[in-house]
Amino acid sequence: AIHTYDKHHLFSLLKEEKHIAKGVGRLIVEVDGWKICPLICYDLRFPVFSRNNVDYDILIYLANWPVKRIDAWDTLLKARAIENQSYTIGVNRVGEDGNGTPFNGHSKVFDAFGKELLSTTENKVEVLQINLSLDDLKLKRRQMNFLQDRDDFTLL
């Protein structure tokens, strides 16, 4: 099956709202027993939107995150992994855009406790592979099961 996810949080500093319409909700897809929640770039800055109600195992962010804000990228990816008790993957571009804005990668994978499992080499285009363990994720969730104490709410 083919699914689509439209970016929910449009980046107003670049006036994205003048060019594209925002998406209306999240998407969870299941692949080989994994429940995956894909999100796009600026969505990373909104933790309520990615809040895990134990409906996914992996958060994956695809992004154009510039060098000048890369510390926020690194920190927010780790935070999303910890607060959602999920693997969190951030895939960021490398190079320079048409406006001369530099991007240095920093693609990363974090486990549910925020441990960095994989990181790309800065300023280098790479294809990396990692084996993730659903059993390990379930163990971590049992060891520190704070998701059971989460607040239940609905986004409007």
User: Average pLDDT, stretch 42-62?
Assistant: 90
**Do residues 143 and 122 lie in contact, with contact meaning Cβ atoms separated by under 8 Å?**
no
DSSP for 98-109, written as a single string: TT--EEE---EE
Q: Which CATH architecture has domain 28-146?
A: 4-Layer Sandwich (3.60)
Cα–Cα distance for residue pair 78/81, rounded to 1 Å: 5
Classify 33 as helix, strand or coil: coil
Whether residue 4 has pLDDT greater than 90: no
Whether residue 3 has pLDDT greater than 70: yes
The residue extents of the domains of the chain are 28-146
Which pLDDT band holds residue 56 (cuts at 50, 70, 90)? very high
**Do residues 29 and 59 lie in contact, with contact meaning Cβ atoms separated by under 8 Å?**
no
| 8-state DSSP, 90 | E
Least confident range of 5-9, 57-61, 100-104, 125-129: 5-9
- In tens, the pLDDT along 94-149 reads 999 999 999 999 999 999 999 999 999 999 999 999 999 999 999 999 998 887 77
Whether residue 151 has pLDDT greater than 70: yes
Q: State residue 156's pLDDT score.
A: 54
Task: Please work out, in degrees rounded to the nearest 5, the angle formed at the alpha carbon of residue 117 by the alpha carbons of 114 and 118.
Answer: 125
Cα–Cα distance for residue pair 86/72, rounded to 1 Å: 19
Q: State residue 50's pLDDT score.
A: 86
| 8-state DSSP, 76 | H
Cα–Cα distance for residue pair 101/96, rounded to 1 Å: 5
Q: State residue 152's pLDDT score.
A: 73
Which pLDDT band holds residue 155 (cuts at 50, 70, 90)? low
User: Average pLDDT, stretch 54-70?
Assistant: 95
Least confident range of 43-47, 61-65, 105-109, 122-126: 43-47
Average pLDDT, the chain: 92
Higher pLDDT, residue 46 or 123: 123
Cα–Cα distance for residue pair 144/20, rounded to 1 Å: 40
